[in-house]
Homo-oligomer: A and B are copies of this chain.
Amino acid sequence: MALLLWEDIAVGSTFDIGPYVVSREEILAFSRQYDPQPFHLDDGRAEESSYGGVIASGWQTGAIAQRLLVTGFLNGAASMGSPGLEALRWRRPVRPGDELRLRLRIVSKEPSPKHHDRGIVDAEHELMNQKNELVMSFRIRIMIARRRSP
Interface, chain A (partner B; CB < 8 A): 30, 33-37, 39, 49-51, 57-60, 62-64, 66-67, 70-71, 74-75, 79-90
Contacts and interface: CB of A to CB of B under 8 A. Distances in A.
A89 B57 CA distance: 20
A81 B51 contact: yes
Contact of A63 (B39, B57, B70, B75): B57
A103 B60 CA distance: 22
A85 B88 contact: yes
A34 B66 contact: yes
Given A36-B71, A37-B74, A74-B37, A87 B84 contact: yes
- Interface hub of A39, A66, A75, A80 (most chain B Cβ within 10 A): A66
A137 to B, nearest CB: 9
Contacts of A74: 37
A82 B83 CA distance: 23
Across the A-B interface, the 8 shortest Cβ-Cβ residue pairs: A34-B63, A84-B89, A59-B63, A34-B67, A85-B88, A59-B66, A84-B88, A35-B66
A54 B52 CA distance: 40
A80 B36 contact: no
Given A34-B66, A37-B81, A82-B90, 15 more contacts: A30-B63, A33-B67, A34-B64, A34-B67, A37-B74, A57-B66, A59-B59, A59-B62, A59-B63, A62-B62, A63-B63, A81-B90, A84-B88, A86-B88, A88-B88
